[in-house]
Amino acid sequence: MAETNNKKTTTKRTKRVVVEHRERRDMTKLCAFWGIVFSGVAMFIGFFVGLLNICGVTISWANTLQGVCSMVSMIALLIAVAFPAYDYCRGRGKNWKVVYWVALILYICGIVGIGFTL
């Protein structure tokens, strides 16, 4: 009778872990989807403004808009990539997490650096 209770407890724990893993995977997919959508829209706006500039339509704030669109695109892709990357290194050793955080900080510094040029 004691063995039956242990098996039920193990089964419940396994189901809970699977549900948590699915929720984490769904959040990752959601961030990846919206990241690529926002990035695509921002890049298209930047492309369209650049195309207008090539065609001879002069807009005084076109360069600023292109820079902002580029920054929005990079931030959206950061969100889309940061969560799956952390998910990947989470189950690995401490060195993987250190590399992840250093790379994330370097990427954010690059985005901030681009913001200074606007």
Distance, in Å, from the CA atom of 19 to the CA atom of 7, rounded to the nearest integer, reads: 18
The reported pTM is 0.62
Query: Crossing angle for the helix pair 62-90 and 2-54, nearest 10 degrees?
Result: 160
Measured in degrees and rounded to the nearest 5, phi and psi for residue 56 equal: 100, 0
Mean pLDDT of all residues in 71-86: 87
Q: What share of the chain is helix, strand, coil (3-state, %, to 5)?
A: 90, 0, 10
Residue, of 1 and 41, whose pLDDT is higher: 41
79: burial class by Cβ within 10 Å (0-12, 13-18, 19+)? middle
Amino acid 17: pLDDT: 58
Do 73 and 106 touch, CB atoms closer than 8 A? no
Amino acid type, 13? R
